[in-house]
Structure 1
């Protein structure tokens, strides 16, 4: 196995990059606040901007598709809403959550200058996520009977079954898309993701128009364009990585990817549970809405609100990724002060953006609904939900960033328990009481779930403020040291070294 550039002896590689640099910490104290803010924001936006663009593109593909489907028929729109916000959010939560283990591993290893380990972690994640995607296949193959068994409308469920089969190749694209993005952003090399994102979005808009409007292919045209749109960034990123884009971290395929999978699986499962519980939260909202009176209008209105909320969430999720990278990099490099400053900086920026959007959405209320539908009833329902949408946007400007702190620090298993309590023992029960018992319908469910999100946000904020970051540096050092020494030992044995 090749050594990373600039490597010396094995002992030097194992220790020097992982020791906290006292002189560096003193330099941090001596630098003025203004200069620290400028330097930190340069590092932040190198990761955050491409990450936000990539998420805007991915979500934009979904929204563009919804806009075209919404002009086909209300039934198709309701079925698309069920699949995209129920089925796809379910599988996305699992795959994205398990892939987020890479943010911890790659971020801390890169900060510790153990570069070649990033390529091995990437390959291990491919193996784990591909196996997980295969396990998820039956859900896509038997969508219609599953939805009917859950009490959904049979006509909507039948169309949802057709849409779900189109989503199978999209789900498998996530195996590579999620892991490659996290691998690249850990190195601050994700500008290639931005270029591909803009290409992808423009191409999907053109193909959707061509296949749906000009060739009159309807649902087939929209979904076919989606499949193409999701795979283009994957091939582009693979080409970048394989052909010299990451010379320090990608040294080719390695048999080491098949070793120590159990440790990676444990961290991946913790990450998966943590993010699944967050992403499935809104899925429960959609599922409960499907049981209400006039479910088609309620589902259409709710899916439009969630998609508008999703646009803002793409900014927050971009900051989530950037926070995970910045915290992991600084912990791996041994700088507790820089890790804390990075957290303060990104929380402040994300909240300011969220507050501006909060005011804008309160002002415009339901007027944006007509982008997605021609139905006056649906637009009126969206206008009625708009205040809750605005408060969701404000709260979601903070919560994902704090989740990014957890990912960068490797707290996934602890946060999973926090999510279970705040979401599923507080938010959903309150929502069901307000929605069904008191009779507030969709608004009641949404209010209850917002309260659950507020509880989770306050708990994560408390954890972040009370954390001993110097101890987190030590934990990161031990994690990177352990896996690096195990891998280095196997590498020496494979070459016949004593």
Structure 2
């Protein structure tokens, strides 16, 4: 009898292990369905800018400096605001999809278009008056004038962000983002050919590269819009609706919180580069830090993919009413991202003396990058956890909380410590980087604590209240036509 009991216990243990294994495998498949295409899309979109910059660099040094100035400051500024505001859609669409209120995704998408269109219109004057603004800030007159010309070319790009970001999040919430990756790859390939053809063969110069750039940003929009309107999302897109104009204030508030959350992160690195510009051997310091931030930025494409996957999975599970499922999703995505981050951490420690030569031939810059590589490796390791936690926050709708956390950790801890270590204690660029790491580490610890202490049953209830509050019966969702 005792032997039979032991056999039953062992069999039960094996079944439980198999059950856990199946759950992890199932969750991992759901995770990679979102994360894989999201990572590829981020790399492709980043590649559009890199290709544009490469062709502009062959036209002239002034043009390259002006393009880099507009792209790294103005376009990143607009991108951060609009992408951040669009991420409110990840919360709303993800939770509605989990709750099987499929038709609400289309209404949320249209509401987000209205919010982002308003924001984009407010950004236009900055791009129109770029040249005088740069002159006022002390920039070289010739570079400022050329930058002013580039900024006008980028206005259509800003408006592409409205539809690109929101359609991506609309499709991502339904795990239909393979189509996003396909159009991103097609756009990148076409952009490479058109930039060469129009700038080199047709001799259109800057106009050729910028025409190709605008097309590269709008082609995925037309493709994704065509996919949605063609009936491929028949459950979630029921046509244009007058209900899109209802309940815009709560969407606007959530969008503002999302925008603040992301912008505070994006501007953090910009402030650090500005701090470095006032140090001894500023050129070497800026070059070294820029190389490290570029490497960090490429790695962040992976992390942002996991951020999107985490937000979708958490929102879906909360909308479905499963607190247990949400917690399990967090564990799987965090473990997966951390594993990849650890491999990259080891790789950058091992190749610390080689990686910089991909970007520079300068021995001084290479030595500075090698000196910073351990900090870069630590940053990559932290970046494998921090975006996942931000994704959890987006999925649960905590954007305003994370915005305050970012403001405190980055701007009250990271930047002041970086300035003190860099200037007062003489650690130079390494001191600035340590400050950045400490700010990111503080943010990670706070978000870990918030996630750990969260009552997920209560979050399910909050999600249910939000879904019910903004629910519109399908019969009242406005005029529809078969074509849409």
Name the residue aligned to 1:307. 294
Q: Does 2:424 align with 1:437?
A: yes
1:406 and 1:412 in contact (8 A); partners too: yes
Q: Quickly say closer, same or farther: Cα 1:377–1:88, change in 2 above 3 A.
A: farther
RMSD: 2.7
Instruction: Tell me the SS of whatever aligns to 2:352.
Output: helix
Name the residue aligned to 1:394. 381
2:241 and 2:478 in contact (8 A); partners too: no
Deviations 1:425-444 (A, max 9, x none): 11111122223333433332
Name the residue aligned to 2:173. 186
* Among candidates 74, 79, 82, match of residue 92 of structure 1: 79
Q: Quickly say closer, same or farther: Cα 1:294–1:74, change in 2 above 3 A.
A: farther
Name the residue aligned to 1:35. 22
2:109 and 2:170 in contact (8 A); partners too: yes
Q: Does 2:460 align with 1:488?
A: no
Q: Quickly say closer, same or farther: Cα 1:367–1:80, change in 2 above 3 A.
A: farther
Taking the aligned partners of 1:108 and 1:479, their CA distance within structure 2 comes to: 9
Taking the aligned partners of 2:60 and 2:359, their CA distance within structure 1 comes to: 11
2:352 and 2:373 in contact (8 A); partners too: yes
Taking the aligned partners of 2:281 and 2:466, their CA distance within structure 1 comes to: 53
Name the residue aligned to 2:408. 421
Q: Quickly say closer, same or farther: Cα 1:81–1:359, change in 2 above 3 A.
A: farther
Name the residue aligned to 1:286. 273
Name the residue aligned to 2:448. 461
Taking the aligned partners of 2:202 and 2:136, their CA distance within structure 1 comes to: 36
The range that moved more, 115-124 or 258-267, is: 258-267
Name the residue aligned to 1:52. 39
Taking the aligned partners of 1:493 and 1:242, their CA distance within structure 2 comes to: 16
* Among candidates 328, 337, 343, match of residue 324 of structure 2: 337
2:163 and 2:221 in contact (8 A); partners too: yes
* Among candidates 425, 448, 452, match of residue 435 of structure 2: 448
Unmatched 5+ stretches in structure 1:
1-27
Name the residue aligned to 2:118. 131
The range that moved more, 139-148 or 116-125, is: 139-148
Instruction: Tell me the SS of whatever aligns to 2:175.
Output: coil
1:152 and 1:290 in contact (8 A); partners too: no
2:103 and 2:474 in contact (8 A); partners too: no
Taking the aligned partners of 2:292 and 2:207, their CA distance within structure 1 comes to: 25
Deviations 1:267-289 (A, max 9, x none): 11111111111122112223334
Q: How does 1:296-375 map to 2 (within 5 A)?
A: 298-365=285-352, 367-369=354-356, 371-372=358-359
Q: Quickly say closer, same or farther: Cα 1:298–1:234, change in 2 above 3 A.
A: farther
Q: Does 2:245 align with 1:273?
A: no
Name the residue aligned to 2:482. none
1:71 and 1:373 in contact (8 A); partners too: no
Taking the aligned partners of 1:146 and 1:493, their CA distance within structure 2 comes to: 44
Name the residue aligned to 1:264. 251
Taking the aligned partners of 1:379 and 1:157, their CA distance within structure 2 comes to: 30
Q: Does 2:478 align with 1:477?
A: no
1:152 and 1:291 in contact (8 A); partners too: no
Taking the aligned partners of 1:349 and 1:401, their CA distance within structure 2 comes to: 10
The range that moved more, 118-127 or 61-70, is: 61-70
Q: Does 2:215 align with 1:228?
A: yes
Instruction: Tell me the SS of whatever aligns to 1:189.
Output: coil
Taking the aligned partners of 2:345 and 2:82, their CA distance within structure 1 comes to: 30
Q: Does 2:178 align with 1:162?
A: no
User: TM-score, normalization: structure 1?
Assistant: 0.86
1:99 and 1:129 in contact (8 A); partners too: yes
Taking the aligned partners of 2:327 and 2:150, their CA distance within structure 1 comes to: 45
Instruction: Tell me the SS of whatever aligns to 2:176.
Output: coil
Deviation of 1:123 after TM superposition, in Å, equals: 0.4
Taking the aligned partners of 1:437 and 1:490, their CA distance within structure 2 comes to: 66
Q: Quickly say closer, same or farther: Cα 1:366–1:145, change in 2 above 3 A.
A: farther
1:59 and 1:310 in contact (8 A); partners too: no
The range that moved more, 196-205 or 243-252, is: 196-205
2:242 and 2:477 in contact (8 A); partners too: no
Deviation of 1:82 after TM superposition, in Å, equals: 3.2
Taking the aligned partners of 1:144 and 1:367, their CA distance within structure 2 comes to: 39
Taking the aligned partners of 1:232 and 1:303, their CA distance within structure 2 comes to: 30
Q: Quickly say closer, same or farther: Cα 1:362–1:148, change in 2 above 3 A.
A: farther
1:81 and 1:303 in contact (8 A); partners too: no
Instruction: Tell me the SS of whatever aligns to 1:32.
Output: helix
Taking the aligned partners of 1:219 and 1:445, their CA distance within structure 2 comes to: 36
Aligned residues: 466
Taking the aligned partners of 1:159 and 1:359, their CA distance within structure 2 comes to: 43
Deviation of 1:79 after TM superposition, in Å, equals: 3.9
Deviation of 1:383 after TM superposition, in Å, equals: 4.3
Q: Quickly say closer, same or farther: Cα 1:369–1:188, change in 2 above 3 A.
A: same
The range that moved more, 368-377 or 79-88, is: 368-377
The range that moved more, 197-206 or 68-77, is: 68-77
Q: Quickly say closer, same or farther: Cα 1:270–1:432, change in 2 above 3 A.
A: same
